[in-house]
Amino acid sequence: MKLIQTPVKGMQDFLPRDMALREHVLGVIRQTYGRYGFSQIETPVMEHIENLTGKNGGENEKLIFKVEKRGRELEKCLERIRKEEGISAEAAGTQLADSALRYDLTVPLCRYYANHKNELPSPFKALQIGNVFRADNPQKGRFRQFTQCDIDIIGDASAMAEIELIAATCDALHRIFAEVGVSGFTVHVGDRRILRAMAKSAGFAEEESDEVFIILDKMDKIGLDGVRQELTGSGFCPDHVDRYIGFFREFAKDQTQDPSAFIQRTCADQIEDGVEQSIGMILSTARAMISEDITLKFDPTLVRGMGYYTGTIFEISIDNYSFSIAGGGRYDRMVGRFCGQDAPACGFSIGFERIVTILRDLGWEESFTTPRKAYLVDLKSASSRITEVFSLAAKERAEGIPVVVQPLKKNAKFQVETLEQEGYTQIRKVYGDTQL
């Protein structure tokens, strides 16, 4: 049987030029975040299935790659299922799996922190880079296995955490895109507490807010009229819906208004203490820390799909693209689910795959700062000559020069052109009588 050459749907092979781009971007990210005091950690790609199905991951929980139990544990589970009557396929599937591939890096980070909190500083500034997995419908810039780059601060309940995260992420993106002449970033800052206060002010019950937010999150795809239609179609009171939609219609007419004025006009009687001051401080202080070509704006329409967000939320969009390239927010109650004690936490995730796709489409090319050298050796040369070439190459590598040694091919012109494309500027053909 002939084996399959192509990767599994939604997975990718990376050619050397692809890896050069990816490693370059990762290098900029690590270097930039290191300057802000973030320490890199690593967590396993597999998590306990209970951790990933706790209704914190929003729609991502429907996209989990579950890992089946093994050996005797699997046999016992199958035997139990056979004896049970009326068991659903979903319940059977849950019983058969005891772990799953992680769909993001936030849940694993919270487990990691709960497990190691006595060994970690407070606040703890974590950088996590790794593959995550979602059984999604693959499309351009969207895969079933992809890399995420997250920075998180755990243990800081103040607005200083949000300010640091916004500044560091904007700095990293500015450095990454400056090489290809791309600017025009907008940082959208909202707050789940404002959304909840608006929902209460409009008349929605507290227990209705999560379902309202799920529909509101579709606004960029279906518009305000579509949101209104879906809310009323879901059985919500039309008067409450109209009042809620009215808040956003008014904001759409004047998006320059500050958060304080918006809160006073929409939900002042329902807002938690300190929210207005917190978001005002985040916007004013972060503004002073980021590049002048980056726009920072209050955006009460921002929802973010994850159910674990408790406060400030943010996204970064880029002009002429219909998707965000970074997003995150505050999730103060997730750590407590692992250890019984809540810890303030806030994070920002860069859309690594989308960034790499944009750079590749714009023709990013690797720059070679160190001269590269190649020896193309005629195999008819004496063995002593070949030994001499390898000895010279070893000496030059010890001096920090990248060197390759290859057999000289019949089509030497194509061989040389290929090496030049890979950044080799010094190419020497070596024959038996060549002076080294």
Please classify residue 133 by burial: count the beta carbons closer than 10 Å to its beta carbon, then call 0-12 exposed, 13-18 middle and 19+ buried.
Answer: buried
The reply to whether 227 and 248 lie within a common domain is yes
Cβ count near 249 (within 10 Å): 12
The reply to whether 288 and 402 lie within a common domain is no
- 198/180 Cα distance (integer angstroms): 41
269 within domain boundaries = yes
The reply to whether 335 and 292 lie within a common domain is yes
Percent of the chain predicted with pLDDT > 70: 91
91 or 262, higher pLDDT: 262
Range of the domain at 417: 372-430
Work out the average pLDDT over 317-334. Answer: 91
Work out the average pLDDT over 234-261. Answer: 86
The tokens of 86 are what?
A: 């009326």
For residues 403 and 371, the answer to whether their CB atoms sit within 8 Å is: no
- 190/195 Cα distance (integer angstroms): 8
pLDDT in tens, 387-432: 999 999 999 999 999 999 999 998 999 999 999 988 899 999 998 7
Mean pLDDT of the chain: 88
The reply to whether 116 and 236 lie within a common domain is yes
Q: Grade residue 250 by pLDDT with cuts at 50, 70 and 90.
A: confident
85 within domain boundaries = no
For residues 28 and 175, the answer to whether their CB atoms sit within 8 Å is: yes
What residues contact residue 20 under an 8 Å CB cut-off, 6+ apart? 366
Report how many domains make up the chain.
2
- Hey, which residues does 191 pair with through a beta bridge? 312
Work out the average pLDDT over 288-298. Answer: 90
For residues 217 and 305, the answer to whether their CB atoms sit within 8 Å is: yes
Q: Which pLDDT value is given to residue 186?
A: 94
224 within domain boundaries = yes
Phi, psi of 365 (to 5 degrees): -130, 140
Q: Which of residues 361, 391, 410 is at a domain's end?
A: 361
For residues 103 and 63, the answer to whether their CB atoms sit within 8 Å is: yes
Please name the helix (run of DSSP H) or strand (run of DSSP E) that holds residue 321, with its range, or none.
none
394 within domain boundaries = yes
The tokens of 111 are what?
A: 């487990």
414 within domain boundaries = yes
Q: What is the CA radius of gyration of the chain?
A: 27
pLDDT in tens, 25-38: 999 999 999 999 99
Percent of the chain predicted with pLDDT > 90: 55
140 within domain boundaries = yes
The reply to whether 189 and 309 lie within a common domain is yes
- 393/399 Cα distance (integer angstroms): 10
pLDDT in tens, 372-393: 999 999 988 888 899 999 999 9
The tokens of 183 are what?
A: 């600017």
Q: Which pLDDT value is given to residue 207?
A: 87
The reply to whether 280 and 391 lie within a common domain is no
End-to-end CA distance of the chain: 50
The reply to whether 340 and 417 lie within a common domain is no
The reply to whether 150 and 202 lie within a common domain is yes
Q: Which of residues 300, 326, 361 is at a domain's end?
A: 361
Q: Which pLDDT value is given to residue 321?
A: 85
For residues 78 and 361, the answer to whether their CB atoms sit within 8 Å is: no
Q: Which pLDDT value is given to residue 168?
A: 97
The reply to whether 180 and 310 lie within a common domain is yes
Place of tokens 């909840």: 196
Asked if pLDDT for residue 112 goes beyond 90, the answer is yes
118 within domain boundaries = yes
The reply to whether 268 and 396 lie within a common domain is no
Q: Which pLDDT value is given to residue 149?
A: 97
User: Where does 234-334 have alpha helices with state H?
Assistant: 238-253, 259-266, 275-289
- 275/193 Cα distance (integer angstroms): 8
Asked if pLDDT for residue 332 goes beyond 90, the answer is yes
Work out the average pLDDT over 301-325. Answer: 87
Asked if pLDDT for residue 15 goes beyond 60, the answer is yes
Q: Which pLDDT value is given to residue 389?
A: 93
pLDDT in tens, 40-61: 999 999 999 888 886 665 666 7
The tokens of 379 are what?
A: 């195999």
For residues 131 and 45, the answer to whether their CB atoms sit within 8 Å is: yes
Q: What is the CATH number of the domain that holds 238?
A: 3.30.930.10
The reply to whether 55 and 147 lie within a common domain is yes
Q: Which of residues 313, 336, 361 is at a domain's end?
A: 361
2 within domain boundaries = no
The reply to whether 377 and 355 lie within a common domain is no
